[in-house]
Amino acid sequence: MSIGPLQTGQTVSVSRTVTEDDIEAFAELSFDRNPVHFDEDFASETIFGKRIAHGMIGASLISGALTKLMGKGNVWLSASIKFEKPIYIGDELTCTLTVSDINQRGVASLDIEVKNARKEVLISGDVQSMRFTSDS
């Protein structure tokens, strides 16, 4: 099955609520067992005031949004990501990608926004991606 051509201005979103299981699974994968993610007493003494999720959990939603937009035959080429605010356990995240440009080689530049349910921007930036197959 093939998907249609990308167009500038096109958007896609994916959503997920961050859970305790996500924190544990990401720590297992990344070896990041920073106490700000696991120790409530430690985290309460930080600028965050309580435990936070790994920022890359929110950024990982970019992959799902890219696949939803471009089909399974896509690859990241580069990304610039800014972590604006912390992600808390229980936050419902929505990652929205907006196509800002498509060059002659078919490389798409997309603006990134990851927001919580309060519509606060937690992560912003841009990603470049291209399809390597017409299958979706």
Query: What domains are defined for the chain?
Result: 11-18+56-131 (3.10.129.10)
With tokens 């936070």, the residue in question is: 52
- Give the Cα separation of 126 and 97 in Å (integer): 8
Question: How confident is the model at residue 136, as a pLDDT?
Answer: 47
Type of residue numbered 34: N
| Residue 13 CA neighbour count, 13 Å, CB half | 11
Report yes or no on whether pTM surpasses 0.75: yes
SS3 for 58-82 is HHCHHHHHHHHHHCCCEEEEEEEEE
- Give the Cα separation of 85 and 94 in Å (integer): 14
Question: How confident is the model at residue 6, as a pLDDT?
Answer: 86
- Least confident range of 12-16, 122-126, 131-135: 131-135
- For the cut 70, the answer to whether the pLDDT of residue 134 exceeds it is no
Question: How confident is the model at residue 133, as a pLDDT?
Answer: 72
The whole-chain average pLDDT of the chain stands at 93
